[in-house]
């Protein structure tokens, strides 16, 4: 969320940055509410001053006199008007806060301008795209032939966008999550957390999923929401907290299932495991001081890239333009892995710097050297999406005979150098 005073002082600039996102926001309503609030405060203070003078004047009047009774009636009227003005101010402030919750984070001055993903800026490509002397198959065909994945049986009990993984397929999925966690905790200095998978609305408001994106969430009958990403419970670990020492960034990692309704994605990526209602991610979150924010962002991207480098999967990094960047991010890099079946790169991690946007919503602060409470900066990114890494391995490591080699770094986790055919 944006500080209202900062917004009012920089209204033209923030309007420009919001337009660059192609985002709809009613700035006229915001201005009107701000005016209502200021008018209510001015009238309230003026009337309180008059009320105070009148109260003092009553002391010199004889109780029961006409003048005394008239002034008492006037004071009663003033009290009613003051209460009404206070209510008006409170309602204007509440409406302003609700409206501000739907205003996206102003983009960084470094974020490239553009209308959509076609105008994202490629930063670098890493790794060699594999060449095959046979027609490569996609991960669905490979998984079905090896009997390590089954989408049809999952659809029977859960509907579309769900998957069974069996045998070596399930083991590879488990191995990937363990491998990612080990790298991030042992080499990159992250602390692993096991988090709740159900959260209250305030946690989702803190990280920006609510109120704007409620249709993308699964809500339970007990007033909980299933997490769409571990970013929510990780970042909100410090909900309404003042961190005593933030001299070095806090790095947290968690492996969780994620649940998304995929509203608005009808007809997109319906085949296989690209876009599912339930999937796993290893999520990375940084909490840091504002002056450490830019470097933390580069570190975060590098940590996610390291996983792909160790797995020897070809990928590229792109910086998202203003028309494609997420609601809570002020600057964002996507990491995209190569998929031979599609002959294109597909997103496998999105690494966002949210500045103090989430921290203001979730009241995450740290104590500075001079004793002041300062809003922290929050960053998050996948390190990586487990399912998409799984399918990228199948497609990039497939062999002419239909088998799939296991990347060398995963072999101690899988216990084999290639995926074996399942028995179900």
Task: Kindly state the tokens that stand for 320.
Answer: 């998202």
Residue of 134, 133, 169 lying closest to 148 (CA atoms): 169
- The answer to whether 347 is a known catalytic residue is yes
Q: How far is CA 292 from CA 198, 246, 266, 287, in A?
A: 31, 10, 40, 10
From 72, 147, 153, 275, active-site residue = 275
- The answer to whether 346 is a known catalytic residue is no
Contact yes or no for 385/400 (Cβ under 8 A): no
From 21, 89, 260, 361, active-site residue = 260
231 Cβ contact partners less than 8 Å away, ≥ 6 residues apart: 207, 283, 285, 380
Burial class (CB within 10 angstroms; exposed 0-12, middle 13-18, buried 19+) of 175: buried
Beta strand spans in 144-249 (E): 149-150, 164-165, 191-192, 198-199, 225-226, 241-243
d(CA 50, CA 248): 53
d(CA 173, CA 418): 14
From 161, 251, 360, 388, active-site residue = 388
- The answer to whether 59 is a known catalytic residue is no
Contact yes or no for 249/293 (Cβ under 8 A): no
Q: How many CB atoms lie within 10 A of CB 332?
A: 26
Q: How far is CA 55 from CA 42, 74, 75, 340, 349, in A?
A: 20, 10, 8, 82, 66
Q: Return phi, psi of residue 48, to 5°.
A: -65, -40
d(CA 198, CA 179): 25
- The answer to whether 350 is a known catalytic residue is yes
The answer for 189, left when phi > 0, alpha when psi is -120 to 50, beta otherwise, is: left
From 39, 91, 144, 347, active-site residue = 347
273 Cβ contact partners less than 8 Å away, ≥ 6 residues apart: 139, 140, 149, 163, 279, 387, 388, 390, 391
From 350, 352, 382, 395, active-site residue = 350
Helix axes 293-311, 167-186, angle to 10 degrees: 140
Cα–Cα–Cα angle for 112, 6, 380, nearest 5°?
A: 50
Q: Which residues does the annotation mark as catalytic?
A: 260, 275, 347, 350, 388
């Amino acid at each position: 969320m944006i500080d209202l005073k900062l917004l009012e002082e920089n209204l033209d600039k923030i309007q420009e940055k919001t337009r660059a996102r192609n985002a709809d926001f009613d700035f006229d309503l915001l201005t009107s509410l701000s005016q209502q609030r200021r008018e209510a405060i001015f009238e309230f203070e003026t009337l309180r001053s008059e009320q105070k003078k009148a109260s003092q004047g009553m002391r010199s009047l004889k109780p029961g006199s006409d003048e005394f009774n008239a002034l008492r009636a006037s004071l009663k009227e003033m009290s009613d008007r003051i209460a009404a003005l206070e209510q008006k101010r409170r309602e204007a402030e509440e409406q302003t806060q609700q409206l501000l919750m739907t205003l996206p984070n102003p983009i960084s001055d470094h974020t490239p301008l553009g209308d959509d993903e076609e105008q994202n800026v490629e930063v670098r490509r890493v790794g060699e795209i594999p060449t095959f002397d046979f027609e490569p198959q996609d991960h669905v065909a490979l998984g079905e032939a090896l009997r390590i994945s089954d989408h049809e049986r999952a659809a029977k009990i859960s509907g579309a966008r769900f998957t069974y993984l069996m045998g070596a397929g399930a083991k590879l999925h488990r191995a990937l999550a363990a491998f990612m966690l080990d790298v991030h905790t042992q080499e990159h200095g992250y602390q692993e957390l096991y988090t709740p998978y159900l959260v209250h609305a305030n946690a989702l408001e803190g990280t920006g999923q609510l109120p704007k994106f409620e249709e993308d969430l699964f809500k339970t009958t007990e007033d909980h929401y299933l997490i769409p990403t571990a970013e929510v419970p990780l970042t909100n670990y410090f909900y309404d907290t003042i961190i005593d020492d933030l001299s070095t960034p806090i790095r947290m990692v968690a492996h969780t299932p994620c649940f998304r309704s995929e509203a608005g994605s009808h007809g997109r990526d319906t085949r296989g495991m690209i876009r599912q209602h339930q999937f796993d991610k290893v999520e990375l979150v940084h909490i840091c001081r504002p002056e450490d924010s830019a470097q933390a962002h580069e570190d975060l991207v590098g940590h996610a890239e390291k996983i792909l480098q160790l797995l020897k999967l070809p990928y590229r990094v792109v910086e998202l333009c203003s028309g494609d960047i997420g609601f809570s991010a002020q600057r964002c890099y996507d990491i995209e892995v190569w998929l031979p079946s599609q002959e294109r790169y597909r997103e496998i991690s999105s690494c966002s710097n949210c500045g103090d946007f989430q921290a203001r919503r979730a009241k995450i602060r740290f104590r500075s050297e001079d004793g002041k409470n300062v809003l922290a900066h929050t960053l998050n990114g996948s390190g990586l999406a487990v399912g998409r890494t799984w399918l990228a391995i199948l497609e990039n490591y497939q062999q002419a005979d239909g088998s799939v080699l296991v990347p060398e770094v995963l072999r101690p986790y899988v216990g084999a150098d290639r995926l074996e055919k399942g028995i179900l």
